[in-house]
Structure 1
Amino acid sequence: MANGTDYYAVIGVSSSATADEIKKQYRRLAKQYHPDTNQNDPKAADRFKEISEAYNVLGDAEKRKQYDDMRRLGAFGGFAGGARASRPGAGGARGPGQAGAGSFTDFDVGGIGGLGDLFSSMFGAGATPGARGGARRGAPEKGQTVEQTIVVPFRIAATGGKVPVELEVNEECVMCRGSGAAPGAQIRPCGECSGRGVISFGQGSFAVNRPCPVCVGRGSVPSERCGACRGTGEARARRTVSIAVPAGAESGTKVRLRGQGGKGAAGGQAGDLVITFEVQSDRFYKREGLDLIAIVPINVAQATLGSRISVKTLDAKKVAIRIPPGTSAGRRFKVTGQGIEKDGKRGDLLVEVTITVPESLSEAQEKAMREFADASGLKY
């Protein structure tokens, strides 16, 4: 991996670890980060891929030996050797915007063969970092994927609707339009990488390419950096997006909005916006699958003698429900087809009654209650 990542660090073992130790650690990590057991964590898939790539090399004795040879030469995470000679053509002096950058050393890697062949055998065809034409300066890059959790009112989640959400994303700097240069500044080819955007080292027709640390892969540097973004070409921005909530959404439901994430670089497409819903509780309704549960209080007389009550449905219509005499607390009455609709199916509204007892009675009410108790043979 020529981007600076150490495979031993990825697996979490030392470079002197045995094959069995590497295998054991890999299996533990693969189980921990497998996408099937981390469906709510999109970063787990990237971690699993990284772990698998590392084990593909370290788990093979021949590939590991080749990798260790390259690692000793400094192809991963830095250059080997103590002395730092100047690159031919790099020059000792640096123009504006290049101050503080160190020079790099070209050296003969000895008799281990072409580095391009090594990387090709280790990482597969098409993955050779040093193959000519492999690095494309200024190539379009897709913008960042933005993930956010939003709170959705219960009734909007049940019936569907829209909610606004404020996002903070990386946008192209409006002052320099992504160039990283101050207004009026001159843009000149980077002297460190000769405008290529990458630094190469190796032997013969093969080389290992790494992003140039001076121009950060752009291939050019400004005579004066943009003061708004400090030369990065990006700025944090806040914007409000209206999110459509599908009917029947539950907590944990995710939606992906293509092109609503961070702005792409060098003309690349915008990233995606991944929204996770967290549904608020409702003061009147509860949910069981597609059914709605409405808790309705009735008094002792209604429960004993029977009554008729009206209940509002989710769409604010009123339905009448007959409470038969002798109804006990917790009994449910079904209103068919007045629940949540999702994927062509619709649940019911279940009205559950609770019986309330008055804290105080009028004289007439107390007299009537005592007469009822006497007739029932109750002692009080």
Structure 2
Amino acid sequence: MLAKKYHPDINKDDPQAARKFQEVSAAYEVLSDESKRQQYDQLGSAGGFAEASAPGGGDAGTGQTWQGFQSTIDPEELFRRIFGDINLGKGRGGFSGWTFDDFAETNAGFGSSQEVIMNLSFQEAARGVDREINVNVVDICPRCNGKKTEPGYKTVKCPFCDGTGMETFSQGPFIMRQTCRRCRGTGQYNKNPCLECEGTGNTVQRRNVVVPVPAGVEDGQTVRMTVGKKEVFITFKVAKSDKFRREGADIHSDVAISISQAVLGGSIHIPGIYEEIHLQIPAGTSSHTKIRLAGKGIKKVNSYGYGDHHVHIRIKAPRWALRSLSDRQKAVITVYAEMEKDTEGSIRGVTSTADGKKIAVEDPDGCITKIRRVVNSGLQPEGIGKKVAEDIDELKTDT
């Protein structure tokens, strides 16, 4: 790319740039023109070609050198031929770069959406949803229907190239041909461009489109969707859930159970992603036990099947539990504490006797004694006696 390297506008501080660029222009002119290349091959030397191509002719041996040759191609035209017609400057200052009008004529247009952020709730992302959004897209001009001309008009044969798509012009003794700069090789000239799209055939349009959000999308995930003539990238912003924690297609949730449910087992209804779940609690479940529900998680986006739902068990034993219990409930728990074995440490309200047994410290209303007799009688082979039966009747009638 010597032409670009030695272009005078790029190398303003180099006094030799103009001369070197002229030499590159001359070389390119010979290589790009069949007739000049033949003349050069016939003369067999750069100097002879330079003499023959100069006005007035002359001998090859007059001492003319290649450096004396003057190119007949305009430097700006040479640069355009090498690097393509990219509308640099459009006649407003040469290589000044893109202008405001140039950008208006690009396929992107003004305000064309490339990425849209869509906010979703946790359940919407997990289950999938159809959401409407407004986006700016590039699409066929509604006024000219993409024909680029005003309604009622058509393109005409280009008067500058006579419809051939090629310009023919003279440069000294040579005939040059190049792509028509007006019609850009199409052979057609738009004399009456569409007022809406300015002859581009496309406009930026505001569209209301429905986006089918697939079930199982994650926060930050992006999907591609074609809207009009553009591809719009939609990035999902998923809100956090106060019930679930997500790890890929798996979800985690917490459930609180009572002490009796933990000891005896039972069941509980918990919310799931797609439906309510009837969860079975095994007897003897301890706190922080994790129960895995296979296939009850979130639908997998890029594969088949569903993830798992992991339920984390928490046993409810709040600090205010003692204050919320009735005297009878406290008595039952105290009797259970007396019967409990292998207890590490101590239990409030219960003391150990000399023979290693445990007994309640206080029993002001005798409720603990009655419950103890009822429980212990159930462990005897002969069953309950008269006194125990009376205790049971009293416990039933106590408020």
Q: Which has the larger radius of gyration?
A: 2
Please report the TM-score for the alignment, with normalisation by the length of structure 2: 0.47
TM-score (norm 1): 0.48
Higher relative contact order at CA 8 Å, sep ≥6: structure 1 or structure 2?
A: 1
